[in-house]
Structure 1
Amino acid sequence: MPHNPRILISGASIAGPALAYWLDRFGFRPTIVERAPRLRPGGNGVDLRGESLRIAGLMGILPRLRERATDIRELTFVDAAGRRVAGMPTSTFNDDGDIEIMRGDLARILHETSSDKVDYVFGDSIRTLTQRPDAVEVTFDSGREAEFDLVLGADGLHSRVRNLVIAPEADALHHLGLYFATGQVAPELGRPGEVVLHNSPGRVAGVYRSASHDIATGFFMFREPRILDLDHRDQDAQKALLRTTFDARAWTLPQVLSQAAASPDFYFDSVSQIRLPRWSASRVALVGDAGYCATLLSGAGAALALEGAHQLATELAAADGDYTTAFARYESALRPIVSKRQRAVRASSAMLAPATTSHIWIRNQLTRLMVLQPLAARVFRATPATAA
């Protein structure tokens, strides 16, 4: 590769901007292309802990992340009348110093940290990739054409880069038997500093309201063992499915469902992991959810995005142009971490969306045990289970 390689990154959520920051810092020339016309706001809360916090510190963004932290202190389960039936403080699961932040806030901070040195192209997307021995030819939906030394896919669960070069989605996606949706709702529907959730068998709906910011998000999850014949961009069909799936007579579901569905940041998708035998092919590699989505149930998606971006950029810098070696070292270092976090999801689905009435009752009793016995909660959090 040339001394100052041109690198195209597809995706401007979390992994993409973090990767661009480190590539620029190590002397590369990154460009980010993003299909959406602008940064996507909102989204659910994401967790940063351990290594991802160390990386955020190296980037100089840790104070800003703490300033925007959601300060969620309580997980509360309510019945159809809104009465509390179970719950626990979030300290049951979190260590001191961990940060929970809205996905949109994290994306914005990463963009602001990188945008003065990185070229961002919004409202466009990769259409085709042609790899040559010396470069990658790229055509875009806009009709523009360009050449890059490397192309890195950070474009999420439905990655076009992955589908074009590494594996079709049908081969990469491992469905965990759940679907979820989110959308912004009025803060008064929630309680400051709490995630309030209502269960029916195989379903959960709730409101997530920050204590430090006047924002709230509606949250829905339901069990469905099949991958539905539903376009992930057809929001009208997604909203219709939500309305028929949830009992709008219970709790405050009519308002939560109506407002979330009307929100400009409404999001719906399957709860699925990406599992691949390899994360690269010649001059193309994947990072974040595009290569190894662990799902929101893992609580590790944003952390893996930051860790993967740093690891990949570091290996590319250390390899001095030998991208094949860099990609292999990146995967060798990160894959054990990804595998562990992908395995640790079954306990989360059982906690959030118990399949039967009796399972809901058992979950409620377990929450009391975890509050009374903090050691049991730590074991519950740390013990990986076989993924669904």
Structure 2
Amino acid sequence: MSRSILISGAGIAGPSLAYWLGRLGHDVTVVEQSPCLRDGGAAAVDFRGDQLVLLERMGVLADIRAQQTGMGDQLVVDASGRTLATFPSALFSGEVEIDRGDLARILYEHSRHEAEYVFGDRVTAIDQHDDGVDVRFAHGPARTYDLVIGADGLHSAVRRLAFGDEHRFRRDLGYYIAAFGAPNTFGLNHSGLIYNEPGRYLSVASGRDTGRATIGFLFAADPQEYDRHDLDAQKRLVATHFADVGWKAPELLAAMRDSGDLFFDSLSQIRLDRWSDGRVALLGDAAWCAGPGGNGTGHAMLGAYILAGELAAADGDHRLAYSRYEQRMRPPVDKSQKFATGAGRFLAPATHWQIRRRNLTYRFLSSRPLSSVFTRLAAKSGNTGQLPHYPLPAAAAH
């Protein structure tokens, strides 16, 4: 049964769902507020365990492998540059890692023939009724759809319109994160450096493109007041929290001032009792944002596959499909949210003693006798059980 379906968000979850729904013959529209594909602030995403089975089933694994970062281990250093510990590549980079912008482009290329993409617009109102959903947009004409899917991230407009204000569902973890790209003036080659002071984390890494580096800041803080749309204000906030930090902090802050692709946000989770309301459903970070280490990208793509599959299996009964989708996704999401709650404390321990204890732990885990065990455990963290089979068409050639 063919449906007209609107997807809000062209990041990772949205194009993944558009691919499967379009292959099923639905009339799919993807609306994205940004005027073009977002590059994600130079951040990288990784896959592990049975997530690779899903990528293969979707037909994107070969493209992802062709553009993977190839990142190796990352070294934890002191202010003088002396190595204190090693974070094995399996910890941060999984079995295959790719820059988020590269992944977004791959997913767009695989889905653009299956859906209509509208960039530079956003949903401003949703009105559900027995025959569909009337949707108004900031710029385009109003349209009516059979179903609406919010795949528009932590600050989802669809969630706000259908479920209520964000503050009701967002759980802040007490940390803020920033990432951006800069010229690789650090001599890094498929490697990275990490530096800590209490409650603060700095990193610089360079992977596939050795001429570029990804720079990251993370810091513990009480809720901060700032304008999400004011890039300069976000840069000033980061600079304030790292003004007295040693190592390469002054150099990295100078690079940030010249950056045009800064990503900045709180480490937060979304906790909802349900992911659907009538004809509207949520997917990815809009439904269950977990935070770093929470398999966010893998779960977004898995959720897209399951949602599309359940819509096909339910033969047009969207309420049944939404219910089954949530039943399948809740267990892995709950597990990942629980795990990711400690990400900030791991990356930016609160005291010098906690930093030393973490470093000693990873010196032990990265030793030769345990390195293979650690790699297997890291891969297992991405497993969500056997991937369900649905009546979905085989991956198209691109």
The normalised TM-score by structure 1 is: 0.92
- Report if the CA contact (8 A) 2:173-2:344 is conserved: no
Task: Please state if 1:356 is matched with 2:355.
Answer: no
Q: 1:47-105: CA deviations, max 9, x gaps?
A: 1123332121112111110011111111211122222222232246776xx21111111
Q: How does 1:107-122 map to 2 (within 5 A)?
A: 107-122=104-119
Alignment correspondent of 1:216: 213
Q: Percent identity?
A: 42
- Report if the CA contact (8 A) 2:5-2:26 is conserved: yes
Hey, what's the Cα distance between the residues in 1 that align with 2:361 and 2:373?
Answer: 10
Q: How does 1:20-59 map to 2 (within 5 A)?
A: 20-41=18-39, 42-59=41-58
CA-CA distance at 1:260 after TM superposition: 2.7
Note closer, same or farther for the CA distance 1:182–1:25 as it changes in structure 2 (3 Å cut): same
**What letter corresponds to residue 335 of structure 1 in structure 2?**
R
**What letter corresponds to residue 329 of structure 1 in structure 2?**
R
Alignment correspondent of 2:361: 366
Q: How does 1:1-388 map to 2 (within 5 A)?
A: 3-41=1-39, 42-91=41-90, 98-189=95-186, 191-211=188-208, 214-224=211-221, 226-247=222-243, 250-298=246-294, 300-372=295-367, 373-374=370-371, 377=374
CA-CA distance at 1:190 after TM superposition: 5.5
Moved more, 153-162 or 48-57: 48-57
**What letter corresponds to residue 78 of structure 1 in structure 2?**
V
Hey, what's the Cα distance between the residues in 2 that align with 1:190 and 1:328?
Answer: 51
Q: Secondary structure at the match of 1:17?
A: helix
CA RMSD of aligned residues (A): 2.1
Q: Secondary structure at the match of 2:42?
A: coil
Hey, what's the Cα distance between the residues in 1 that align with 2:11 and 2:56?
Answer: 19
- Report if the CA contact (8 A) 1:5-1:28 is conserved: yes
Q: Secondary structure at the match of 2:215?
A: strand
**What letter corresponds to residue 39 of structure 1 in structure 2?**
L
Note closer, same or farther for the CA distance 1:25–1:102 as it changes in structure 2 (3 Å cut): same
Q: 1:204-248: CA deviations, max 9, x gaps?
A: 011121046543211000011x32222322222211111111036
Hey, what's the Cα distance between the residues in 2 that align with 1:345 and 1:229?
Answer: 24
Hey, what's the Cα distance between the residues in 1 that align with 2:142 and 2:87?
Answer: 54
Hey, what's the Cα distance between the residues in 1 that align with 2:176 and 2:154?
Answer: 13
Hey, what's the Cα distance between the residues in 1 that align with 2:116 and 2:381?
Answer: 42
**What letter corresponds to residue 204 of structure 1 in structure 2?**
Y
Name stretches of at least 5 consecutive residues in structure 2 with no aligned partner.
383-398
Note closer, same or farther for the CA distance 1:380–1:355 as it changes in structure 2 (3 Å cut): farther
Q: Secondary structure at the match of 2:260?
A: coil
Hey, what's the Cα distance between the residues in 2 that align with 1:56 and 1:380?
Answer: 20
Hey, what's the Cα distance between the residues in 1 that align with 2:125 and 2:219?
Answer: 35
- Report if the CA contact (8 A) 1:51-1:307 is conserved: no
Name stretches of at least 5 consecutive residues in structure 1 with no aligned partner.
none
CA-CA distance at 1:263 after TM superposition: 2.0
Q: What is the aligned residue count?
A: 378
Note closer, same or farther for the CA distance 1:57–1:378 as it changes in structure 2 (3 Å cut): closer
Q: 1:160-212: CA deviations, max 9, x gaps?
A: 00011023210111111110001111122351112211111100011121046
CA-CA distance at 1:249 after TM superposition: 6.0
Q: Secondary structure at the match of 2:179?
A: strand
Q: Secondary structure at the match of 1:31?
A: strand
Hey, what's the Cα distance between the residues in 1 that align with 2:197 and 2:190?
Answer: 23
Hey, what's the Cα distance between the residues in 1 that align with 2:86 and 2:188?
Answer: 14
- Report if the CA contact (8 A) 1:77-1:87 is conserved: yes
